[in-house]
Amino acid sequence: MSWRTVVISNKCKLSYKNNYLLVRNENINMIHLSEINTLVIDTTLVSITATLLCELMSKKIKVIFCDERHNPKGEIVQYYGCHNTSKKIMSQIKWKNTIKDKIWTEVIKQKINNQSFILKKNEKENGDKLLEYAKEIQCGDKTDREGHSAKVYFNSLFGMDFTRDNSSEINSALDYGYSILLSSFNKEIVANGYLTQLGIHHKNEFNYFNLSSDLMEPFRPVVDDIVYLNKEKYFDKDFKLKLIDILNTKLKINNGNYYLSNAISLYINSIIKALESSDIDQILKVEVL
């Protein structure tokens, strides 16, 4: 199973040869494609061959491109993730609203429970209040416990003056980490043959990744924790590398501990099983550590 997150941050040429990624600058470095989970192009001073891009897509390796400010700008999403994609998309279109609402309720409950854990881990107030919010969630979160929890959570973690709308280094770091997380969900959803555009709760016509935005919710606190622990530092290259390395973070899935990249795969498969069977008991429980 692939495990490496490769970050390209200096001027070079990327090409392909005999199942290897070739990085050419003053020297030539080679990395076997079987080892690579994600390739981050963290500079605009890189040239890359079409042959390599095609091979990366065929191996289902996620490629993320950053802009001149080193912020994630876009990613490569292949057209077809598995042999029966058309069948799975037809099934996805027919997912019933009743089961989608039930699954969204469970997703948000797990997210709020994980937010509570992060507050308690970092010795912040209101962890128990979030647990109460999680217990109060109605089907489909009609009373917006998620929104109430988010306000309490971020104010408790980053201070009463903090909001997710302002321009700050903390928000830039959060957005960067969430982008890395989102790309991992995009990769797994496409690999399973489904469309990222068709969500179970998010329905924004301008969001190419509605389903990924839905399913990543319980995993967001992983990013929040890293940002909190480094909030006094400048949002520089080293900070970004720590966020990119979230794929090597471990989470608890039911009774086992898994690296985040593997946990995402297991979790998405359980959600799909729940959607296809209309049985929310299929959903695995995700807990941050």
DSSP the chain: ---EEEEE-SSEEEEEETTEEEEESSSEEEEEGGGEEEEEE--S-EEE-HHHHHHHHHTT-EEEEE-TTS-EEEE---S-SSTTHHHHHHHHHT--HHHHHHHHHHHHHHHHHHHHHHHHHTT-S-HHHHHHHHHHPPTT-TT-HHHHHHHHHHHHHH-TT--TTS--HHHHHHHHHHHHHHHHHHHHHHHTT--SSS-SS---TT-TTHHHHHHTGGGHHHHHHHHHHTTTS-SSHHHHHHHHGGGG-EEEETTEEEEHHHHHHHHHHHHHHHHHHT-GGGPPPEEE-
Average pLDDT over residues 103-130: 97
Mean pLDDT of the chain: 93
Residue ranges of the chain assigned to CATH 3.100.10.20: 4-75
Q: What is the pLDDT of residues 50-89, one digit of tens each?
A: 999 999 999 889 899 998 888 888 898 877 777 888 999 9
- Report residue 166's pLDDT band, with 50, 70 and 90 as the boundaries: confident
pLDDT at 268: 96
pLDDT at 1: 57
Average pLDDT over residues 46-52: 96
Interaxial angle between packed helices 145-158 and 220-229, expressed in degrees from 0 to 180 and rounded to the nearest 10: 20
d(CA 275, CA 200): 10
Is the predicted pLDDT of residue 11 greater than 90, yes or no? Answer: yes
Is the predicted pLDDT of residue 281 greater than 90, yes or no? Answer: yes
119 touches 157 (CB < 8 A): yes
Average pLDDT over residues 135-143: 93
Q: Does domain 85-288 bear CATH number 1.20.140.10?
A: no
Least confident piece of the model among 6-10, 80-84, 235-239, 250-254: 80-84
Q: Which residues are annotated as a binding site for Mn(2+)?
A: 146, 202, 217
- Report residue 8's pLDDT band, with 50, 70 and 90 as the boundaries: very high
d(CA 21, CA 30): 6
Residue ranges of the chain assigned to CATH 1.20.120.920: 85-288
- Give the pairing type, strands 12-17 and 46-48: parallel
Q: What is the pLDDT of residues 180-228, one digit of tens each?
A: 999 999 999 998 999 999 999 999 999 999 999 999 999 999 999 999 9
Q: Which residues are annotated as a binding site?
A: 146, 202, 217
pLDDT at 2: 67
Return the CATH number of 4-75, one of 1.10.1660.10, 2.60.120.330, 3.100.10.20, 3.30.420.40. Answer: 3.100.10.20
Q: What is the CA radius of gyration of the chain?
A: 19
Q: What is the pLDDT of residues 254-277, one digit of tens each?
A: 989 999 989 999 999 999 999 999
